[in-house]
Amino acid sequence: MKALSLLARLEELSKSGQIPLHMPGHKRNEALAEYLHTLGARLDITEITGFDDLHDAQGILRAAQERAAALWGVRKSWFLINGSTGGILAGIRALAPAGSRVLVARACHKSVFHALELCRLRPAFLQPQPVPGWSFAGPVSPESLAQGLARFPDAKLVILTSPTYEGLLSDLPALVKLAHDAGVPVLVDEAHGAHLGLYGAFPAGAVAAGADLVIQSLHKTLPSLTQTAILHCAGPLADPSAVDRQLAVFETSSPSYLLMASLDGCVDWLTEQGEKALPAWRERLERFRRETGPLHSLRLLGDELSLPFARDPGKIVIGSGPLTGRELKDRLREEYNLELEMAGADWALAMTGPGDTDETLGALARALRAIDETLPAVPPPAPLPPLPVPEAVLPPWQAMERPAAPMPLEQAAGRISAGYLWAYPPGIPLILPGERVDEAFLQGCRALTARGVVLHSGEENGALRILAE
C-alpha cells in the first residue's frame, strides 16, 4: 500500500478537527483574514506529532526525501526550502575547510561568492569560455580546470555551474574525472537543471557525471513552488553527515510545510507522470522551433551549426537583432502580453517548463515572427567582449571587514572594491570585494549599461562600496 504523501497527511489533519495550540499564529483559521484562505493556511503547520522534523527526519519527511533520492539515483537527497542558495552555502561549507583554497567558476551565482566570504575561502577562479557570436559567458572547459588543478595542488574543492542561466552545459564527465583523479570533490550548482537526465528527455546532468554534491532548484524548471530546491549527494567524496550539520546552520529551523509538500508532490509527479510529461515537453519545444521558422533579424541560440557546447533546449535564448535585449523583452510584454525571464545586452531569455503548452509556446513563436518582420534584415551586432577580470588585492572576506564607504562608480578608478557589483539576473558578480576598479572595467560597465543591462550594488544611485585609503 502506498504511503500517504505529505500533502495528503496535511489534508487529513485539516479535516480532523484537531485544535492547534502551537505555531503558527493564524491557527489554521482561514476565516481570520481572506488572504489566509487564498494562501491555503489550513495546511500551514509546524513540526507537530506525526509530521517529522526536516533537520532530524525519521518519519514522513525522511520517506519523502528517500523517494527523491531513488528517483534521481543518488546516495541521499535533502529538501531545501530557501532555494538553491541554502544548499550552495551548506554544501560549500561541508566540503571546504575554512580558509582553504577552492577552484571556482568565475561565472557563478552570488550565493557561491557569499559562501567564499563566510567561510573565508581562498578562491582561484576558472574563467568561462566565450560563446561565439553572443554576449554572455559559456561553461568552464576541462583544459581550464586541468590548469587550475596543476597550479593549485592544495585545492580542496571545485565549484561549477551547469547549466548556465542561458542553458549551456559543461562537459561534466570530463570535469568531474579531472577533479576526482586529483582527490578533489566537486560541487555543481545545477539550479537551472533539475529536469536534466530524467527519463532521457533532456541531456544528462551533474548526477550522471558523479558530482559529489548537486544543488537543483525544482521551482525553476519543474512543477514546484517558488523557493523549493533539492540537494543531492551523488559522488563518493562528500560526507552526508557534514551536509546535515551545515543545513542546520543555513536553513531555517521552521521550514514551511507548504513548501515541503510542494517538493514531495513534485517528486511524486515526476515518478508517476514524468516518463510521459518530460518527453512531451521536449516535443513541444521542437514544434516551437519549427513553428518559429527562419528569422531574418532575430535569432535563436542553437540554430548555429558550430555552437561548441551542448545546451538545454528548455531555455530559449533570443538574439535581439538591432534591438537591445531590454527593448525586445519590453515589446513582447507590451504588444503580446508575454513576460520573459530576463534580458541581456543584445538577447533575451524565455524559460520553459512542463507547464507550458503548445498554445503558450505558439504565442511566443508568432510574436517573434511578427516582431522579426518589423526589423531590418541586418547581421547581428558584434557581441560585447567579456569584462576584464579585475586585479585581486585582498580576499573577499578581508575586504568586507575593513572600513569602507559608497562612492560613485565613475570616481572609483584605481580604488579597491569593498562590495559586489552584479548584473542581475542572473546574479553573477562583475567585481568582488578586494578587487581593484580600473578604467578597462569601467569601460566594460558603460558598454553594458548602454545596451540596457541593469547593474546592482546594493547602494543608492549605482554607487559601489570602496575601501578607505
Q: What is the pTM of this model?
A: 0.93
The answer to whether the peptide bond before residue 24 is cis (omega within 30 degrees of 0) is yes
Residue 170, C-alpha cell as written in the block? 559543461
The CATH number for 396-467, chosen from 3.90.105.10, 3.40.50.300, 3.30.465.10, 1.10.1040.10, is: 3.90.105.10
Residue 412: pLDDT over 80: yes
Maximum Cα–Cα distance for the chain, whole Å? 69
Domains of the chain, by residue range, sit at 56-254, 276-373, 396-467
pLDDT tens for residues 45-96? Answer: 999 999 999 999 999 999 999 999 999 999 999 999 999 999 999 999 999 9
Q: What are phi and psi of 296, to 5 degrees?
A: -100, -30
Count Cβ atoms below 10 Å from residue 234 Cβ, excluding itself: 25
What's the pLDDT score for residue 206?
99
Give me the residue label for grid cell 554544501: 91
How is domain 276-373 classified at the CATH fold level? Aspartate Aminotransferase, domain 1 (3.90.1150)
Cα separation, 350 vs 342, in Å, equals: 7
What's the pLDDT score for residue 1?
57
Let me know how many helices (H) and strands (E) the chain has, helices first.
Answer: 15, 18
Residue at 14: amino acid letter: S
User: Whose CA is closest to 349, among 372, 366, 328, 331?
Assistant: 328
How is domain 56-254 classified at the CATH fold level? Aspartate Aminotransferase; domain 2 (3.40.640)
What integer best gives the mean pLDDT of the chain?
A: 94
Band (pLDDT 50/70/90 cuts) for residue 306 is confident
**Cβ–Cβ under 8 Å, residues 139 and 168:** yes
What's the pLDDT score for residue 394?
94
Band (pLDDT 50/70/90 cuts) for residue 428 is confident
Residue 3: pLDDT over 80: no
Residue at 460: amino acid letter: E
pLDDT tens for residues 229-272? Answer: 999 999 999 999 999 999 999 999 999 999 999 999 999 999 99
